[in-house]
């Protein structure tokens, strides 16, 4: 049985439990109230991550934010991303590029590969380092292969761009005018410190670009895949979503980010997928930097803290009929209140505290847009002869066991003109 399934089994029904894995205390949380105590009240003590095998590969030796344990480099990178990549003005600046990407999605209805299951998978040697040489399940080899594929794709683009901005005979001028910063990669390359030197090294840029790609691809595609499957299995809900899109957007144009506030039911569908179908069973392991006591529980320095995304999102003490896909459960506070973040930690979408997601507004917009565009632009149906879609998960991850296979028939006449 995979390690994560074993942990989910033994922790089911318990608010908090401590197990010993190798020589380590691993504390697992299934209760929103306790989660908030750890990640809000005692946030400063739990803001460091455990150094994971997957994070080392992904972050070029822990150079990017999401995998950097804690310290000066994490602060520098977090400041750069907050002020230069995901600030409200940057989000506005990039909105037409995102619309263009959303058009591509409609054009190439496709399935993105899910790398997240590798990054977030529980890898036994992270808790028992003496076992690392065994590479249980070939996990490290797969991570190396995944990273080498990504580098093959990203590196030439990043290096060519760096050469342009930083190389000898820099082409920072075109036709006598200063070259314009066109995208987020240009932004990262051109940042300077107080003395006018490049703020980020090539490795830091590569690590951060890989991390942002991971962060922004897997969650939205996971929501779209599970969302379509759940909605197709419950045609009444699908009709409700389509009615909202037709009423708010109509059939003469494609849905845009500016429509999102008027699409509470689509947001509720996305939120329900984030509650029920997660890209990973746990969040990244937090590591307390000193001995501490939380809600009466003594937690020694060096323990690992795991918030169970499954234990929270599918918790029967928190959610009625938790395994049922029911977007309406998120509509009870009124349509204006529906949003993807869950600050009360009744499930984990963007988490909370110092290590919470930096891209919540961007991630929300991308996720809702992807689902809304796929729903609006196509009539979806089961393959002929198919009954309900099988919602089984893979044994080794929470991804859909069988890739979703459904028919998409364009439903907007404007698509014929566009494509």
**Residues making contact with ligand HEM (CB under 6 A):** 65-66, 78, 81, 86, 212, 215-216, 219-220, 283-284, 348-351, 355-359, 362-363, 367
Looking at the Cβ atoms of 87 and 243, the one nearer to ligand HEM is 87
Which residue, 215, 210, 221, is CA-closest to 399? Answer: 221
What is the closest distance, in whole angstroms, from the C-beta atom of residue 246 to ligand HEM in the complex? 25
As a whole number of angstroms, the distance between CA 223 and CA 206 comes to 27
**Nearest distance in Å: CB 70, ligand HEM:** 9
Closer to ligand HEM by CB, 90 or 164: give it.
Answer: 90
Q: Of the two residues 78 and 179, which places its CB atom closer to ligand HEM in the complex?
A: 78
Min CB(92)–ligand HEM separation in Å: 15
Return the number of the residue (127 or 412) whose C-beta is nearest ligand HEM: 127
- Do the beta carbons of residue 275 and residue 328 sit within 8 Å? no
Closer to ligand HEM by Cβ: residue 181 or 360: 360
Of 34 and 81, the one with the shorter C-beta distance to ligand HEM is: 81
Q: Residue 236: CB partners within 8 Å, gap ≥ 6?
A: none
Which residue, 23 or 343, has its beta carbon nearer to ligand HEM? Answer: 343
Nearer to ligand HEM, 150 or 412 (CB): 150
At its nearest, how many Å lie between ligand HEM and the CB of residue 200?
Answer: 14
Q: Which residue is nearest to ligand HEM (CB)?
A: 359
- Dihedral (CA of 55, 61, 62, 65) sign: negative
Q: List the 286-287 sheet strands across, edge first.
A: 16-21, 24-29, 304-307, 286-287, 48-49
Shortest approach of ligand HEM to residue 103 CB, angstroms? 19
Q: Which is nearer to ligand HEM, 82 or 382 (CB)?
A: 82
Cβ at position 366, least distance to ligand HEM in Å:
6
Measured CA distances, 185 to 75, 85, 206, 225 (Å) = 20, 9, 10, 29
Say which residues have a Cβ less than 8 Å from residue 272's Cβ, sequence separation at least 6: 230, 325, 326, 327, 329, 330
Tell the smallest beta-carbon distance from residue 361 to ligand HEM (Å).
Answer: 9
Between 26 and 358, name the residue whose CB sits nearer to ligand HEM: 358
Shortest approach of ligand HEM to residue 403 CB, angstroms? 20
CB of residue 231 to ligand HEM, shortest distance in Å: 18
d(CA 160, CA 179): 15
Nearer Cβ to ligand HEM (285/412): 285
Distances in whole angstroms, Cα of residue 85 to Cα of each of 81, 184, 196:
5, 6, 20
Q: Can you read off the two tokens belonging to residue 346?
A: 């009744």
Minimum distance from CB of 381 to ligand HEM (Å)?
27
- Nearest distance from C-beta of residue 84 to ligand HEM, angstroms: 11
């Amino acid at each position: 049985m995979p390690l994560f399934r074993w942990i989910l089994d033994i922790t089911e029904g318990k608010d908090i439990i401590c197990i010993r894995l190798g020589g380590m205390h691993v504390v697992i949380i299934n209760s929103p109230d306790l989660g908030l105590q750890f990640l809000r009240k005692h946030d400063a003590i739990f803001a460091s991550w455990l150094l994971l095998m997957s994070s080392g590969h992904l972050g070029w030796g822990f150079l990017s934010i999401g995998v950097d344990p804690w310290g000066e480099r994490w602060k520098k990178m977090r400041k750069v991303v907050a002020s230069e990549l995901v600030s409200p003005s940057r989000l506005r600046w990039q909105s037409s590029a995102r619309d263009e990407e959303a058009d591509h999605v409609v054009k190439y209805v496709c399935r993105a590969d899910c790398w997240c299951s590798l990054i977030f998978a529980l890898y036994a040697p992270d808790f028992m380092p003496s076992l690392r040489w065994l590479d249980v399940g070939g996990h490290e080899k797969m991570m190396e292969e995944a990273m080498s594929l990504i580098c093959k794709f990203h590196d030439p683009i990043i290096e060519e761009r760096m050469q342009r901005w930083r190389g000898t005979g820099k082409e920072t001028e075109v036709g006598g005018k200063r070259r314009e910063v066109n995208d987020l990669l240009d932004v990262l390359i051109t940042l300077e410190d107080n003395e006018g030197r490049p703020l980020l090294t090539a490795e830091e840029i590569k690590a951060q670009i890989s991390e942002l790609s991971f962060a922004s691809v897997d969650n939205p595609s996971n929501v779209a895949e599970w969302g379509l499957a759940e909605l197709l299995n419950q045609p009444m809900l699908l009709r409700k979503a389509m009615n909202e899109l037709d009423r708010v957007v109509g059939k003469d144009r494609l849905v845009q980010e500016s429509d999102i506030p008027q699409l509470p039911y689509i947001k509720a569908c996305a939120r329900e997928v984030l509650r029920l179908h997660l890209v990973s069973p746990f969040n990244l392991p937090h590591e307390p930097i000193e001995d501490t006591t939380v809600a009466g529980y003594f937690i020694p320095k060096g323990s690992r803290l795991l918030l169970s995304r499954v234990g929270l999102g599918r918790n029967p003490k928190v959610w009625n009929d938790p395994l049922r896909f029911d977007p309406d459960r998120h509509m009870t506070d009124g349509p204006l209140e529906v949003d993807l973040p869950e600050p009360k930690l009744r499930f984990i979408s963007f988490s909370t505290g110092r290590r919470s997601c930096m891209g919540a507004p961007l991630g929300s917009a991308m996720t809702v847009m992807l689902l809304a565009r796929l729903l609006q632009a196509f009539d979806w149906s089961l393959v002929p002869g198919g009954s309900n879609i099988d919602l089984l998960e893979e044994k080794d991850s929470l991804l859909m066991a069988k890739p979703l296979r459904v028919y998409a028939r364009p439903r907007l006449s404007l698509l014929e003109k566009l494509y």
